[in-house]
């Protein structure tokens, strides 16, 4: 398999439209080639490409910002001596001054295939700014490590945010290049948009499915350490709206959940009793951990590790969003008075509960909190959304 950036670097004909143009790059630490050369360095070494600026998304071009809502500054790249603008600092949308520094922007971001992952919102904002300023946008496509499966509720009108770029389910099943095609069509953007496609990408093939097994994993953000996390993320990201630890401050963030005073084995049993069909394709293991920072720092937590890996993993059966929803439901059943939901302006969305911002509406939380609701009730609202997106995305698929 060849990445979009690898095709661009190896094919002069693909690069020809860039000749004489000022070229900018949106990238992060996982923007690397097969030999782990960063895309910025690889492009700078090519004759005929005139790099004029770079942009960093959330966590920064260098990936040095550990937590959410920690802003990155602008700086001058010390090697290439070009400005590096932060799209997660004073602004999240590129300004007119930023847009004036280039003619074509190359976007080379490793995504995780989840609506809440902010790199896709950065893509949308760049597309909208490019349409306004008459710039060209090229996505150098990369694999979706979560693969093609679709899951979750579609974002409802009025719930758009930096973690909710558009009305599609939590797990969208598209590559970044494909999603850009949908953005252009859905938002009716008059923009010069191009995808440098992957070559030899087969997202339905095992053992890696969305992630080719021969590819080295580089963290696209500090708490995205491996493929298991990427598979679980469409569910475990909801923990950012809960008082439970999502494992930040451990070596396996966003693959687990827990807190002091909960009983993991009892939670797993309740999950098995309530909806065993939602637990197919993974293994739940009770664990103990003590976060070194973030929620419950320095406290002994009992929790559950979700393993979407090994012999038990079934790519088509695994439902991370439902697994995590079921965990919330089990905790609510066992501990009815447990203070489960956090309340703060999550990703600058004021006046809304974070769990609702994450899910693009209150339906998931209302299902968890309703003592009479059953698994079938959540399926009844999520399944139509998933089917509709399966049909809608079809014409945007490139692979």
The single residue listed with the structure tokens 């394709």 is 281
Q: Please, which pLDDT band fits residue 395 given cuts at 50, 70 and 90?
A: very high
The single residue listed with the structure tokens 């919102």 is 121
In-domain check, residue 395:
no
Domain that holds residue 112: 4-220
In-domain check, residue 56:
yes
Q: What is the pLDDT of residues 113-134, one digit of tens each?
A: 999 999 999 999 999 999 999 9
What value does the mean pLDDT take over residues 351-358?
97
Q: Please, which pLDDT band fits residue 307 given cuts at 50, 70 and 90?
A: very high
Q: What percent of the chain has pLDDT over 70?
A: 99
Q: What is the pLDDT of residues 141-177, one digit of tens each?
A: 999 999 999 999 999 999 999 999 999 999 999 999 9
- C-alpha distances (whole Å) from 242 to each of 103, 151, 292, 327, 336 are 43, 20, 18, 12, 15
Residue 66 has pLDDT above 80, yes or no: no
Give the model's pLDDT for residue 70.
74
User: What's 239's domain CATH number?
Assistant: 3.90.1150.140
What value does the mean pLDDT take over residues 251-272?
97
Q: Are residues 231 and 378 in the same domain?
A: yes
- Answer with the one of 220, 247, 274 that is the final residue of a domain: 220
In-domain check, residue 332:
yes
Q: Are residues 264 and 355 in the same domain?
A: yes
Pairing relationship of beta strands 75-76 and 83-86 according to DSSP bridges: antiparallel
Q: Are residues 267 and 346 in the same domain?
A: yes
What value does the mean pLDDT take over residues 341-349?
92
Residue 73 has pLDDT above 90, yes or no: no
In-domain check, residue 84:
yes
Pairwise CA distance, residues 16 & 11, whole Å: 9
Residue 196 has pLDDT above 80, yes or no: yes
Give the model's pLDDT for residue 72.
82
Q: Are residues 156 and 84 in the same domain?
A: yes
In-domain check, residue 182:
yes
- Answer with the one of 176, 195, 220 that is the final residue of a domain: 220
Residue with more model confidence, 156 or 62:
156
Query: Alpha helices of the chain — where are they, by DSSP H?
Result: 4-10, 12-15, 39-44, 96-99, 119-133, 176-186, 227-236, 264-274, 320-334, 354-359, 363-369, 375-392
State how many domains the chain has: 2
Give the model's pLDDT for residue 142.
98
- Can you say whether residue 296 is alpha, beta or left, with left for phi > 0 and alpha for psi between -120 and 50 degrees? left
User: What's 150's domain CATH number?
Assistant: 3.40.50.12170
Residue 244 has pLDDT above 70, yes or no: yes
Q: Are residues 35 and 166 in the same domain?
A: yes
Residue 123 is encoded by which pair of tokens?
């893509």
Residues 354 and 360: beta-carbon distance below 8 Å: no
Pairwise CA distance, residues 169 & 245, whole Å: 24
Residue 9 is encoded by which pair of tokens?
């670097």
What predicted TM-score, i.e. pTM, was given to this entire model?
Answer: 0.96
Residue 44 has pLDDT above 70, yes or no: yes
Q: Are residues 170 and 232 in the same domain?
A: no
In-domain check, residue 165:
yes
Q: Are residues 236 and 342 in the same domain?
A: yes
Q: Please, which pLDDT band fits residue 71 given cuts at 50, 70 and 90?
A: confident
Q: Are residues 233 and 373 in the same domain?
A: yes
* Cis amide bond preceding 207, omega within 30: yes
Give the model's pLDDT for residue 65.
65
Q: Please, which pLDDT band fits residue 69 given cuts at 50, 70 and 90?
A: low
Q: Are residues 188 and 238 in the same domain?
A: no
């Amino acid at each position: 398999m060849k990445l979009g950036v690898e095709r661009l670097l190896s094919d002069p004909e693909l690069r020809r439209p860039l000749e004489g143009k000022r070229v900018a790059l949106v990238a992060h630490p996982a923007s690397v080639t097969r030999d782990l050369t960063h895309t910025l360095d690889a492009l700078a070494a090519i004759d005929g490409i005139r790099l004029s600026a770079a942009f960093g998304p959330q966590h920064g071009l260098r990936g040095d910002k550990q937590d959410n809502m920690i802003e990155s500054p602008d700086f001058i790249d010390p090697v290439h001596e070009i400005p590096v603008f932060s799209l997660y600092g004073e602004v999240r949308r590129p300004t007119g001054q930023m847009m004036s520094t280039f003619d074509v922007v190359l976007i080379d971001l490793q995504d995780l295939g989840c609506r809440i992952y902010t790199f896709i919102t950065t893509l949308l904002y760049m597309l909208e700014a490019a349409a306004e300023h008459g710039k060209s946008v090229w996505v150098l496509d990369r694999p979706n490590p979560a693969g093609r499966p679709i899951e979750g509720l579609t974002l409802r009108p009025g719930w758009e945010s930096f973690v909710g770029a558009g009305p599609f389910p939590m797990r969208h099943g598209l590559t970044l290049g494909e999603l850009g095609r949908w953005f252009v069509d859905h938002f009716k953007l008059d923009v010069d948009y191009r995808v440098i496609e992957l070559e030899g990408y087969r997202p339905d093939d095992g053992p890696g499915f969305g992630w080719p097994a021969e590819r080295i994993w580089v963290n696209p953000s500090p708490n995205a350490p491996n493929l298991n996390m990427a598979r679980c993320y469409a569910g475990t990201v909801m923990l950012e709206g809960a008082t439970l630890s999502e494992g930040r401050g451990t070596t396996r963030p966003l693959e687990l959940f827990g807190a002091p005073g909960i009983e993991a084995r009892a939670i797993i049993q309740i999950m098995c009793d309530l909806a065993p069909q939602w637990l197919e394709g993974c293994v739940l293991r009770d664990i103990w951990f003590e976060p070194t920072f973030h929620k419950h720092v320095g406290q002994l937590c009992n929790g559950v590790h979700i393993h979407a890996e090994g012999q038990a993993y079934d790519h088509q059966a695994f439902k991370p969003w439902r697994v995590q929803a079921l965990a919330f439901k089990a905790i609510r059943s066992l501990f009815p008075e447990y203070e489960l939901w956090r309340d703060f302006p999550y990703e600058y969305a004021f006046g809304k509960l974070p769990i609702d911002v994450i899910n693009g509406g209150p339906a998931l939380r209302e299902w968890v909190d309703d003592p009479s609701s059953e698994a079938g009730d959540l399926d009844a609202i999520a399944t139509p959304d998933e089917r509709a997106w399966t049909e809608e995305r079809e014409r945007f698929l490139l692979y």
